[in-house]
Each structure stands twice: as C-alpha cells, then as structure tokens.
C-alpha cells in the first residue's frame, strides 16, 4: 500500500502494541500522590492531557501502580509539567520500587506541597495542576484513564502568555519538553504559528 506521497506503507501487527514501532510526540508530566503511610509518590506519565475545555485533566495509568491505588483511595492528585532541564529528574521518578514496595527516589526528589490537595509537586516545573478525582475508565487493555477536575492551577511567570509578548519569543525563552515515545525527548523552542482557516472556532 502506498501513502499520499507514493511512499510504501508497512502494515503493523495490531495483535500487539504498535506504539514502539515509530515515534510520536507527547508531553511528559509527573503525577504526585500520597502513599497510604503519607509519604510522597511521584510517577512520570506521557499519556496525559486536558480532557475538556472546562478544566478537566486525565492520564493513563495501570491499576498495578501505586498512583492508581493512591488516587482511588484519596480522590486527589497533582500534576507537574517539568522543564527540559528536568528531564533526568522526571526519568528518575520512574525508578522501580524496592522489594518492600517503597520508592526512596520519591523522597529524594525536590518537591513542594500542593495547596488545595494533599499531593506533592515537582519543584522548578513551569505548570502545576491540583486535581480532585472525578471518574475512571477501566479495562483499556491493561490500563485505565483517570480523570480529575482541576481545582487549582499555577504557571511560572516566564511561561505565562502575555498579549504584549510574541508567543514565539515566549517559547524561545522558555522551551517546552516533548517526550518522543518510547525513548527520546526534545526541547521545543523554535515554533511557527499554525495557519487556522478564516472563521475558525474551537
């Protein structure tokens, strides 16, 4: 089969996950929750995005993870959008647990407490969301979609859009982190305005 530019297309086997066969662009956020003993839990997530224009946020997780279990119990979580300079930090948050189930790296990473929910935020990020749990969609294969309502949001001043500043200049000065699943990342600084059609409305 040929594509639009007469390029040969490769048929993928959908009996297994297709997502490791090519690169796609995602955000990389760190979701913060509290363990049953009150300690912090931090977990990087890339299948994460707004779920509506009305301040809902969702991400994909597996019921095996403490993040899922903590949210199911406490009904709250926090989200940190980290900067490109924090890529290693976000990666460390994916460190496996010890044999006793503890995750010491979560206590070693620099965090601040959220203000309206009981959950940790990663210090130094550029966008912080505090969410109350609203719903969960299970049985997406081995995964679940967790959706929360944003009850507090803060953005770093250098990442805040301003009518007096060109958006391109803003992103050049404060680049964004992009995760290229499954194993690469990029810093987004140079951008071009999307040419929306006349009369476009969301």
- Burial class of residue 156 in the structure, from the number of CB atoms within 10 Å of its CB (0-12 exposed, 13-18 middle, 19+ buried): middle
How far is Cα 81 from Cα 26, in angstroms, rounded to an integer?
Answer: 12
Domains of the chain: 24-188 (2.30.110.10)
How far is Cα 141 from Cα 145, in angstroms, rounded to an integer?
Answer: 11
User: Each residue of 82-114: pLDDT tens digit?
Assistant: 999 999 989 988 888 787 777 777 778 899 999
pLDDT of residue 98: 80
pTM exceeds cut of 0.85: yes
pLDDT of residue 5: 65
């Amino acid at each position: 089969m040929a594509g639009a530019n007469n390029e040969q297309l490769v048929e993928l086997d959908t009996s297994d996950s297709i997502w490791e066969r090519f690169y796609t662009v995602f955000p990389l956020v760190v979701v913060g929750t509290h363990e049953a003993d009150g300690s912090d839990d931090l977990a990087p997530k890339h299948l994460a995005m707004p779920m509506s224009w009305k301040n809902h946020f969702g991400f994909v997780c597996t019921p095996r993870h403490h993040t899922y279990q903590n949210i199911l119990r406490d009904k709250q979580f926090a989200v940190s959008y980290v900067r490109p300079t924090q890529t290693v930090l976000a990666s460390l948050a994916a460190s496996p647990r010890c044999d006793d189930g503890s995750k010491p790296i979560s206590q070693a990473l620099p965090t601040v407490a959220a203000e309206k929910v009981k959950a940790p935020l990663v210090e130094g990020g550029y966008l912080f969301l505090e969410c109350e749990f609203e719903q969960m969609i299970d049985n997406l294969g081995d995964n679940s979609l967790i959706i929360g309502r944003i009850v507090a949001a803060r953005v770093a001043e250098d990442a805040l859009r301003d009518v007096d500043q060109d958006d391109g200049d803003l992103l050049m000065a404060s680049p964004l982190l992009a995760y290229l699943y499954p194993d690469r990342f990029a810093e987004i600084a140079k951008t071009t305005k999307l040419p929306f059609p006349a009369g476009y409305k969301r």
